[in-house]
Structure 1
Amino acid sequence: MTQTHNPAVPEHELLTRKSFLRTLTAPDWLFALFTAAAALFAQIQAAHHMDVYETVILWSSAVSAVLLGWFFKPMRWFVPGALLAAYGAMQLYGGNIARTETFFLKYFLSSQSAIMWQCAFVFFALAAYTAGGIVAKRQHRDTNTLLGMGTAFAWVSAFAGFTGLLVRWHESYLLRPDAGHIPVSNLYEVFILFLVITALMYLYYEGRFAVQKLGGFVFTFMAGVVCFVLWYSFSREAHTIQPLIPALQSWWMKIHVPANFVGYGAFCIAAMLGVAELLAIRNEKNNRKSWLPPSQVIEEIMYKAIAVGFLFFTLATILGALWAADAWGRYWSWDPKETWAFIVWLNYAVWLHLRLVAGWRGRILAWWAIVGLFVTAFAFVGVNMFLSGLHSYGTL
């Protein structure tokens, strides 16, 4: 019997599809099976809390997690591990929030303790990456034990933060069974999400391009964010779980906010890579042996980060417009938050245009990415602090 295929699909695409499927191993399929089983278990356990939209989001997230695990192999242990740790915390709670004082919850698995571990390991990762970079510079080597420790600490920080968010989700239902919610409703929670996403994105690029020596740049910025989180937590008690205000009681929030922070994380990584590229360019211009990767490699990673961030930020902006239409009856109102979101979008649209169409390279794009960090930071935090509008519920 002769084998046939759809003539509408080019033969080279069929070969690409076959080769991708052939790359999937038994652990890949086991990961997919585990993720599907976890989603089914979550739906059965929380059916009384979920409507049709949340069910769609749950299974869409499961499919996305499988595809991400197939694309980025470490996610095959990261996602199941965090789910199992969070489920262990749920069992320790046993439906009673007062059990937070038990040993493992108090010091490891409650949301606040897990998030504190995340913050600590950000600093551990920064110290290891920085020391490893100094050693690499002296020994003229691309990697060493300290850099490897930095990578390990970065994974632990992301794992602890993601686990903490999952447990915090459960804790919100223990505190208020009728008002539990996904933990992306205030600045404290989204900063934790931001730290998780930024760490994971950096770790992907680190593994993809073998650039461990750039970890010190990215985690310097993340350490600054952790300092803000700690101040915000202790001075404003922002870590306490509060009920959702009416404006946020929407399923749109569950997809708009995470997409937004993939964009924010990517743009912040790009800014730190811009600093690294400027140093690399200076060393290359002065014919000095650089301990950093070549400036062209750094710029390529920066470009990929901005491209991914721009895609997700565009998606988040569209979702935000749909949410606005559902909540306020209009898609766009030039509210300060919306205006600055457009400025951020336009800034990186121009950056991509200049690189892809005009062919710009080098120092000017690095500086542009660095300045873009301040534009993004003002859109993220500054608008909440200094301007008022329809999004004023996000104030500090």
Structure 2
Amino acid sequence: MSTSTLAAKPLSKAAQPFWRDLRLGDHLFAAFVLLVAGIVFNRYHAAMDGYEQAILAGATLALIALGWFWKSVRVFFPVAGLLALGGIALYGGDLARGQSAFWLKYALASQSAAMWMCVLFFLATLVYWGGLLRRSATLEAIASGLTWAAAGAAVVWFFVRWYEGYLIGPDIGHVPVSNLYEVFILFCLITSLMYLYYEERFATRRMGAFVLLVVSAAVGFILWYTFDRQAHEIQPLIPALQSWWMKIHVPANFVGYGSFALAAMLGVAQLLVAKGWLASRLPAYETIGEVMYRAIAVGFLFFTIATILGAMWAADAWGGYWSWDPKETWALIVWLNYAAWLHVRLVKGWRGNVLAWWAVIGLLVTTFAFLGVNMFLAGLHSYGGL
């Protein structure tokens, strides 16, 4: 095929509206998502304010777009959603059934789903490494399947825990993104799904051994935080978090955090390839760099959105968009760090090890902004400490 033919293809696709490329499967998926959203709205709209109804509408459209863009989620989200609905139905409005109903106790209650998620992510990490070191496509496929299953368990945890909060009391229930235990599970879900997308997009499973390491580190924190601090117990929201802003600010933030963590682990992989270590087993040096760039670009976009949403939340709660609180200051440092990373790559044309090291160090900066500020620096956001 000639270069001119290759160049003409994108132009012909861009010349017609995107909906002309939609197939029957695309329309059926959209209809299914709209049907489920309609059922949710019909059942729960009385308990939802206008902002929550707008979030439901936005999430519905976003899921449809994601399903059109990434075909694999057409199976993943319906299956995980049905399992979550099964867990909710098994409760029958009685929280005590979580300790007596077999499937709730051992699989579908939120804490059971969280423990399954932890086990599956640990197993996926080990199997990814086995597949990488033995060059086994079978082990890599099994590891990918385990990662999908772990992400599915996280989705079940999310919706069942949300419901369990309302079973405790209408004033207790809230979207589970309010404390470190909840957001670390959200981090595992987002990071693993982002990795699975890139795994499919670049047709290689050999980056999973590195990316799943950071997910397993988060899982280790979740287990420690659960058994040492009993953090899995559902608590009422503190006044500072009783805002609908939390429901959009926190998830957007964690798309950013997940992207930056993924990029940092790929930076480690790229540096090893540059030294000749595992070079014959990992994807090409340039491929790893390209995935790292795309992850940081997505993360920067969502972190920017989250920062803007955080400023609007601050104005609503404290009367000002910016107060140079330590959390705000370090969020700005993180934003400037990745803005500079993208600038030198896109404008200056930098490539190679310097950007890989920058991505690795960037994760340390981001981790301090997320955890260290709350632990060591007093401010308006000090309620998020360990």
TM-score by length of 2: 0.95
Cα contact 1:344–1:379 (8 A) shared by 2: yes
- In the alignment, structure 1 segments of 5+ residues that lack a partner are 1-11, 137-142
| Alignment partner, residue 318 of structure 2 | 328
Separation in structure 1 between the aligned mates of residue 17 and residue 127 of structure 2, nearest angstrom: 38
User: How does 1:364-379 map onto structure 2 within 5 Å?
Assistant: 364-379=354-369
Deviation at 1:13, TM superposition (A): 7.8
Residue among 346, 359, 362 paired with 1:356: 346
- Of 381-390 and 21-30, more deviation after overlay is shown by 21-30
Separation in structure 2 between the aligned mates of residue 148 and residue 246 of structure 1, nearest angstrom: 46
| Alignment partner, residue 88 of structure 1 | 86
| Alignment partner, residue 108 of structure 1 | 107
Separation in structure 2 between the aligned mates of residue 162 and residue 18 of structure 1, nearest angstrom: 36
Cα contact 2:120–2:150 (8 A) shared by 1: yes
- 1:381 matched to 2:367? The reply is no
Separation in structure 1 between the aligned mates of residue 94 and residue 57 of structure 2, nearest angstrom: 28
Deviation at 1:27, TM superposition (A): 2.4
Runs of at least 4 residues of structure 1 off by over 4 A?
12-15
| Alignment partner, residue 28 of structure 2 | 30
Letter aligned with residue 56 of structure 1: A
Letter aligned with residue 206 of structure 2: K
Separation in structure 1 between the aligned mates of residue 282 and residue 20 of structure 2, nearest angstrom: 36
User: How does 1:214-233 map onto structure 2 within 5 Å?
Assistant: 214-233=207-226
Cα contact 1:90–1:167 (8 A) shared by 2: yes
Cα contact 1:188–1:238 (8 A) shared by 2: yes
TM-score by length of 1: 0.92
Deviation at 1:354, TM superposition (A): 0.7
| Alignment partner, residue 132 of structure 1 | 131
Separation in structure 2 between the aligned mates of residue 15 and residue 376 of structure 1, nearest angstrom: 39
Render the CA deviation track for 1:86-128: whole Å, top value 9, x for unaligned: 1111110000100002100000100110111110010110111
- 1:188 matched to 2:181? The reply is yes
User: How does 1:117-156 map onto structure 2 within 5 Å?
Assistant: 117-136=116-135, 144-156=137-149
Q: Secondary structure at the match of 1:242?
A: coil
- 1:239 matched to 2:237? The reply is no
Cα contact 1:188–1:229 (8 A) shared by 2: yes
Deviation at 1:262, TM superposition (A): 0.2
Q: Secondary structure at the match of 1:98?
A: helix
| Alignment partner, residue 69 of structure 2 | 71
Q: Secondary structure at the match of 1:283?
A: coil
Residue among 39, 42, 47 paired with 1:41: 39
User: How does 1:172-321 map onto structure 2 within 5 Å?
Assistant: 172-283=165-276, 290-321=280-311
Deviation at 1:378, TM superposition (A): 0.5
Deviation at 1:14, TM superposition (A): 8.7
Separation in structure 1 between the aligned mates of residue 133 and residue 227 of structure 2, nearest angstrom: 34
| Alignment partner, residue 139 of structure 1 | none
Q: Secondary structure at the match of 1:212?
A: coil
Separation in structure 1 between the aligned mates of residue 248 and residue 141 of structure 2, nearest angstrom: 34
Separation in structure 2 between the aligned mates of residue 384 and residue 105 of structure 1, nearest angstrom: 35
Render the CA deviation track for 1:28-48: whole Å, top value 9, x for unaligned: 222111111111111111122
Let me know the Cα RMSD of the aligned residues.
1.5
Deviation at 1:206, TM superposition (A): 0.6
| Alignment partner, residue 3 of structure 1 | none
| Alignment partner, residue 18 of structure 2 | 20
Cα contact 1:28–1:76 (8 A) shared by 2: no
Residues 14 and 388 of structure 1, relative CA distance in 2, 3 Å threshold: farther
Residues 58 and 13 of structure 1, relative CA distance in 2, 3 Å threshold: farther
Deviation at 1:299, TM superposition (A): 0.3
Letter aligned with residue 93 of structure 2: G
Aligned residues between the structures? 376
Letter aligned with residue 216 of structure 1: A
Letter aligned with residue 116 of structure 2: W
Separation in structure 2 between the aligned mates of residue 259 and residue 38 of structure 1, nearest angstrom: 23
- Of 119-128 and 14-23, more deviation after overlay is shown by 14-23
